[in-house]
């Protein structure tokens, strides 16, 4: 009988094949037309976990099902709560994909498909690790509970509600959230902080109806002009947010964390060239790019629907214009307070002749975890062993609302990590999972189980 590590070594091709099956399911949670596909992905996961021998519960919600599974074979040992999501972002524009988004293809050591990195490939490493124990009849080092959602890319309300009402069922000694990535190829990372978010839209109403710009240009208010004026008074050209009180609760990272960031092999020129691809980086000049992405809050505009956008010309002064916006928050900004401050400020900016509506949804809290947590220390050693290179502490510019729920609602020390490389193109065409990282990720999960279980 082999060990779990030998088992995963000899099943690499099989794991890749199975992951491809899951990736063929276009489980786009935000598109109502994909509802059955999302359900099919949940069923795929449930079936797979049942095959391994786990107790599985597919929990219906008002939108997409949650998959909950238990592997409680280690009485008296700690319990790990594992998290991942089986839904994906839309794939468009499909013409920019080298191979179709739902036809998983391996080339140059990467597996290309929508969801390969975010998050099906990472979620799969959790499942593969458990399978390695079961199939080799190796006693479980820990108990594992899995909570897997299908709405991460489109709100995640169902899991948030479930976590709040099922604290007992989800009770665990540590949580492992696999929805992040390595710092750089070969350098595993643990995100100690995550930004929060508040988002929504600003709607500006000018005239009562669309007007002819020849007949009324010069007297009628233009809501796009108004929006442009408003936006430049929410954030200035140096990336400084102008909402009064916005920065009041922002806590700087502690000196230790900042010193750790200074040691990271971050090449600003390469980052600009290979990841951002613009002519310059923008943002607050007094902070480094890593500080700006991890420890500073932001305001962004995502799109401005409205008016005439068809081919040709239509000389109209639109009655209405909208801007979709969001703000990323850092510890210890409070989403509710930021929502009020932002709404009041934006409404006060309404140019003459316009009416401004601000609709912001609740959003997610920012979180930060101390590196001294035993679960974090165990993960750092496990990842370092698996990748043969010391795991670094970083933060995540994005928001995983479930992490705040695990920490604040369930009071579980939470390790946020993952195996996706910076070139994973999550949410973009040609999403890619580096297969070496995928297989090392499975090793890392096994080593994490051993360390948390006190076997290593």
- Residue numbers of the site for Zn ion (CB under 5 A)? 118-119, 179
Nearer to Zn ion, 118 or 201 (CB): 118
Nearer to Zn ion, 37 or 179 (CB): 179
Q: Which long-range contacts (CB under 8 A, 24 or more apart) does 88-92 make?
A: 88/26, 88/27, 88/28, 88/29, 88/114, 88/115, 88/118, 88/120, 88/153, 89/28, 89/30, 89/114, 89/118, 89/153, 89/426, 89/427, 90/28, 90/30, 90/31, 91/26, 91/28, 91/429
Contacts of 272 (CB under 8 A, 6+ apart): 278, 280, 281
Helix (H, G, I), strand (E, B) or coil at 231: helix
Cα separation, 150 vs 66, whole angstroms: 6
**54 is written with which tokens?**
């786990």
**Closest of 437, 430, 436 to residue 113, by C-alpha:** 430
Nearer to Zn ion, 11 or 34 (CB): 34
Nearer to Zn ion, 118 or 385 (CB): 118
Cα separation, 259 vs 255, whole angstroms: 6
Smallest distance, Å, CB 377 to Zn ion?
25
Contacts of 251 (CB under 8 A, 6+ apart): 330, 331, 332
Smallest distance, Å, CB 206 to Zn ion?
39
Nearer to Zn ion, 49 or 148 (CB): 148
Over the range 244-275, which residues count as b (16 or more CB within 10 Å of their CB) and which as e?
eebeebeeebeeebeebbeeeeeeeeeeeeee
**254 is written with which tokens?**
């502690």
Smallest distance, Å, CB 118 to Zn ion?
4
Smallest distance, Å, CB 153 to Zn ion?
7
Nearer to Zn ion, 29 or 79 (CB): 29
Cα separation, 26 vs 270, whole angstroms: 33
Question: Which backbone phi and psi does 154 adopt, to 5 degrees?
Answer: -145, 45
Smallest distance, Å, CB 401 to Zn ion?
11
Smallest distance, Å, CB 151 to Zn ion?
11
Q: Which residue has the tokens 């002009």?
A: 225
Smallest distance, Å, CB 117 to Zn ion?
8
Nearer to Zn ion, 122 or 222 (CB): 122
Nearer to Zn ion, 157 or 210 (CB): 157
Burial of 236 (0-12, 13-18, 19+ CB in 10 A): exposed
79 touches 410 (CB < 8 A): no
Nearer to Zn ion, 389 or 427 (CB): 427
Smallest distance, Å, CB 453 to Zn ion?
27
Nearer to Zn ion, 151 or 385 (CB): 151
How many residues are given for the chain?
Answer: 456
Smallest distance, Å, CB 85 to Zn ion?
6
Smallest distance, Å, CB 390 to Zn ion?
25
* Eight-class DSSP state of 118: I
Q: Alpha carbon 228 to chain centroid distance?
A: 29
**288 is written with which tokens?**
């480094």
């Amino acid at each position: 009988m082999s060990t779990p590590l030998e088992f995963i070594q000899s099943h690499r091709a099989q794991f890749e094949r199975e992951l491809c099956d899951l990736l063929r399911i276009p489980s786009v949670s935000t598109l109502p037309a994909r509802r059955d596909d999302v359900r099919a992905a949940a069923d795929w996961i449930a079936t797979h976990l049942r095959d391994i021998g786990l107790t599985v519960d597919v929990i219906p919600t008002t939108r997409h099902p949650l998959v909950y599974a238990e592997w409680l074979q280690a009485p008296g040992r700690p319990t790990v709560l594992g998290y991942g999501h089986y839904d994906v972002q839309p794939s468009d524009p499909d013409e920019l994909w080298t191979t179709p988004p739902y036809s998983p293809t391996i080339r140059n050591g990467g597996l290309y498909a929508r969801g390969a990195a975010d998050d099906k490939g990472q979620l799969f490493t959790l499942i593969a690790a458990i399978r390695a124990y079961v199939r080799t009849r190796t006693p479980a080092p820990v108990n594992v509970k899995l909570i897997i959602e299908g709405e991460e890319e489109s709100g995640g309300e169902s899991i948030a509600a479930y976590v709040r009402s099922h604290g007992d069922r989800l009770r665990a000694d540590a949580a492992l959230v696999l929805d992040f990535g390595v710092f750089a190829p070969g350098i595993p990372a643990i995100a100690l902080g995550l930004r929060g978010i508040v988002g929504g839209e600003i709607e500006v109403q000018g005239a009562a109806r669309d007007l002819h710009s020849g007949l009324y240009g010069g007297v009628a208010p233009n809501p796009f002009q108004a929006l442009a004026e408003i936006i430049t008074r929410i954030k200035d050209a140096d990336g400084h947010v102008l909402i009064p009180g916005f920065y009041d609760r922002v806590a700087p990272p502690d000196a230790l964390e900042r010193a750790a960031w200074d040691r990271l092999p971050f090449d600003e020129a390469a980052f600009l060239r290979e990841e951002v691809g613009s002519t310059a980086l923008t943002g607050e000049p007094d902070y480094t790019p890593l500080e700006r992405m991890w420890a500073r809050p932001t305001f962004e505009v995502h799109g401005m629907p409205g008016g005439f956008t068809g081919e040709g010309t239509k000389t109209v002064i639109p009655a209405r214009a909208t801007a979709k916006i969001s703000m990323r928050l850092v510890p210890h900004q409070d989403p509710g307070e930021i929502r009020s401050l932002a709404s009041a400020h934006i409404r006060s900016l309404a140019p003459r002749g316009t009416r401004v509506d601000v609709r912001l949804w609740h959003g997610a809290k920012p979180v930060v975890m101390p590196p001294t947590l035993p679960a974090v220390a165990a993960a750092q050693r496990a990842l370092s062993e698996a990748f043969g290179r010391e795991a670094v502490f970083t933060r995540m510019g994005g928001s995983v609302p479930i992490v705040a729920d695990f920490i604040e609602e369930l009071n579980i020390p939470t390790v946020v990590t993952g195996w996706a490389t910076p070139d994973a193109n999550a949410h973009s065409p040609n999403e890619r999972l580096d297969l070496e990282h995928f297989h090392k990720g499975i090793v890392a999960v096994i080593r994490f189980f051993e360390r948390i279980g006190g076997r290593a």
